[in-house]
Amino acid sequence: MCSRTNRGKSPKSRSLPGVFKANHFLHREKVENWTLQARDTVIVLVLGDPPKDITQCLSSVGSIPWAELRRIWNGGSSSSEGAVVGAWRNLVVPGPSSMATQLFEGKGHAAVYQKYRFAPGEELQQIILSYLKEKRTNPIELVVDVGCGSGQGTRFLAEHFKKVVGADISEAQIQEARDASSRPNLSYLVCPAEELPFEDGSVDLLTSFTAVHWFDIEKFMKEVNRVVKPRGCVAISTYTVDMSLHYGNCSEKLTQIFKETRDLIFKYSHSRVKHVLEDYKEIFEALPFQDKKRITDIFDKIPMTVAGVVGYFESVSPFQAYMKNEPEAAKTLLQETEKRFLDAMGVSSRETPLEFWVRHVCILGCKGP
Ligand SMILES: C[S@@+](CC[C@H](N)C(=O)[O-])C[C@H]1O[C@@H](n2cnc3c(N)ncnc32)[C@H](O)[C@@H]1O
């Protein structure tokens, strides 16, 4: 579409003083010859009105929060009208959703996530499938799983539906999802939940597992309403903090250890976890469909191992924050937790199986008319 956004002229000549590229806006670097690819999302910060040739280069820019970008940018070299002082490739605009990207964008985190995060359990799967049977008479052609992570729920959907697309804002998560499984009816794309690249009324089923609390809920719900077909359905779920561990006669002790560790990790929780603690009440109210219900007592028993439970702790976003701030304490906590589990169970292998019981909340909705 357009190549070489940096024309290399000086700001004084009222052309472009420089184009900067970064994976994240805090770590920008100058790029001399930056070629835009067809599906790149680019946000360009311009002081004054954007020059025409630059605006023409932008392939899929949503609404640009100019004021916010100007506020953030303080390293621009020019203030002349119409000068481009910075550009970010695939930038998520700062705000609630950018925090989400930061939380899940690390490659290491995505790898741990892929390894240890479990798929929706049997009970949750059945509740969603039965709801669709009850509501849908037409075949389900297109399913979109938003905030799909490394594909935990997306793979389950691909076993049942014709075409399934997993969407997530984190490139690292999507890469893990692609590496984990390939099926002809399953594909993935990197995109924010608030700007879904689907036509109006084109999606038969939109799902999201343990992710909506990270989105800009208002914008996401507008997108849901836009992309879902009339009579199309939505299934939004999360697992809650009601979790327990079960092994022989020491389930109570194991669950106690689990809760103690979780409480230590959760001191690094993001405020958005409040939606989970409230069983997605606010998210349910925000779904703009008349025909909807919220089920708060779905229990699943997930087969796991001691290593799996410790890995689950490692995969939660507060633990990643804990690691950043207090790496030694975070590592020690996991080691000690594992030892306490093994001692309580009277076993030595971290591969010893146990059961992880979890309560899910699920919001189901069907769009009118
Ligand atoms: C807790 S994970 C859930 C992943 C997966 N659905 C599961 O069931 O395990 C939340 C996911 O939401 C993604 N996410 C956060 N904010 C997002 C946004 N605004 N748009 C799209 N994805 C987002 C994160 O990158 C992360 O992969």
207 lines ligand 1 (CB under 6 A): no
104 lines ligand 1 (CB under 6 A): yes
| Side-chain-facing half-sphere of 248: CA atoms under 13 Å | 10
Q: Tell the CATH topology of 97-366.
A: Rossmann fold (3.40.50)
Alpha carbon of 210 to ligand 1 centroid (Å):
7
Residue 88 has pLDDT above 90, yes or no: no
Does residue 151's CB lie within 6 angstroms of at least one atom of ligand 1?
A: no
Q: How confident is the model at residue 104 (pLDDT cuts 50, 70, 90)?
A: low
29 forms beta bridges with: 21
Note the pLDDT of residue 269: 86
In short, whether 341's Cβ falls inside 6 Å of ligand 1 is no
- Give pLDDT tens digits for 335-356: 999 999 999 999 999 999 999 9
**CA gap 82, 124 in Å, rounded:** 53
Q: Which of 90, 107, 155, 168 to mutate to test the pocket of ligand 1 (most atoms within 8 A of CB)?
A: 168
Q: Does residue 55 or residue 105 have the better pLDDT?
A: 105
Whose Cα sits closest to atom 14 in ligand 1?
Answer: 147
pLDDT mean over 234-241: 97
Predicted local distance difference test score (pLDDT) of residue 103: 59
Ligand 1: residue of 97, 104, 317 to mutate (most ligand atoms within 8 A of CB) is 104
Which atom of ligand 1 is found nearest the CA of 151? 5
Q: So what's the pLDDT on residue 115?
A: 85
**Contact in structure between 188 and 168 (CB atoms under 8 Å):** yes
**pLDDT tier for residue 62 given thresholds of 50, 70 and 90:** very low
Contact indicator for 128, 207 with CB cutoff of 8 Å: yes
Q: Is the CB of 114 under 6 A from ligand 1?
A: no
Which residues does residue 166 pair with via DSSP β-bridges, in sequence order? 145, 188
Percent of the chain with pLDDT over 70: 71
Return mean pLDDT, the chain. Answer: 78
Q: How do the domains of the chain map onto residue ranges? A: 11-91, 97-366
Separation of alpha carbons 258 and 252, rounded Å: 10
Q: Please compute the mean of the pLDDT values over residues 84-94 and round it to a whole number.
A: 40
Whether the model clears a pTM of 0.85, i.e. scores above it, the answer is no
11 pLDDT above the threshold of 70: no
**Could you read off the pLDDT of 300-325 as tens digits, one per residue?**
999 999 999 999 999 998 898 888 88
Task: Write down the pLDDT at residue 136.
Answer: 82
Nearest-10 crossing angle of helices 317-325, 327-345:
130
Rounded distance between C-alpha atoms, residue 133 and residue 367, angstroms: 15
